[in-house]
A and B are shown apart, each in its own frame.
Chain A
């Protein structure tokens, strides 16, 4: 009888260990030891040990999967410190738009970006250099690139006037890049914040 009941218990403990495979090793061993002590104490109190009694004991302990779930979940209980992402959200607003706030806002955004532990160094480099001053270059580019018109006298007394700046063929792609690059960066950083933070 003893070997059969031992088998039942061994099998239970094996299933428990398997269910706890995701739990850090030290804690897993501690919990299994607690359950072993529990079983030993129950058995010590039994006058005559029968298979039925052992089965009842294990039933009362519960499904190993339930114990594992209780160990790994904190569901239904408030987190000890619920992170709010005020700093990260401020960074995501200031990086594209901060340069319009007396120019200095962008630097504040960069400082917040680097102060946060949500993002990797790669993310922070992306946020800083794509693009410096956020959307400001996109706004300034059309103003600067057109330039003053320059007129020159062609042959036969005809005046031709053209902007001295960049032609539209180059200007439109450059403008699109300046406008889209910071937005893509913010999108990438926001995704990371949503997932990892």
Chain B
């Protein structure tokens, strides 16, 4: 998709800002380890441009107390760090989900109501 320069930068920012909530939403369903999370996000087109940036994001979520992690032995290879959503993370996700739906609904309302 080709978009104007300013739009591309803006989309990158939106993607960046919402990515953490996508990570948290994945973790709300089940605990996952880093690689597994990255692949789950990358499987959906348009969400992640640099897979490597998920790891700093996870570290930040951990520091902010929105997720926590536990090391578990793996049957194939070294132990893995599994991430879980904390109660605080769950609350933040609930708030974001509500605000996002409201906002996305409002934008869709205008975009869909205009001939393209």
Contacts and interface: CB of A to CB of B under 8 A. Distances in A.
Contact of A60 (B51, B56, B60, B64): B51
B115 interface: no
B113 interface: no
Interface in A50-86: 60-64, 66-67, 70-71, 74, 76-77, 80
Contact of B53 (A30, A42, A66): A66
A70 B35 contact: no
Given A31-B59, A60-B42, A38 B51 contact: yes
Interface residues of B, number: 23
Chain B contact residues: over half helix, strand or loop, or mixed? Answer: helix
Interface residues of A, number: 25
Contact of B34 (A37, A62, A63): A37
Contacts of B53: 62, 66-67, 70
A67 B55 contact: yes
Contacts of A35: 52, 55
B75 to A, nearest CB: 12
Contacts of A62: 49-53
B13 interface: yes
A165 to B, nearest CB: 64
A40 B74 CA distance: 14
B55 A31 contact: yes
A78 B86 CA distance: 19
A13 to B, nearest CB: 11
B64 A40 contact: no
A102 to B, nearest CB: 46
A77 B17 contact: yes
Contacts of A34: 34, 55
Contact of A63 (B38, B50, B57, B77): B50
Interface of B: 13, 16-17, 20, 34-35, 38, 42, 49-53, 55-57, 59-60, 64, 76-78, 80
Interface of A: 16, 27, 30-31, 34-35, 37-38, 40-42, 44, 60-64, 66-67, 70-71, 74, 76-77, 80
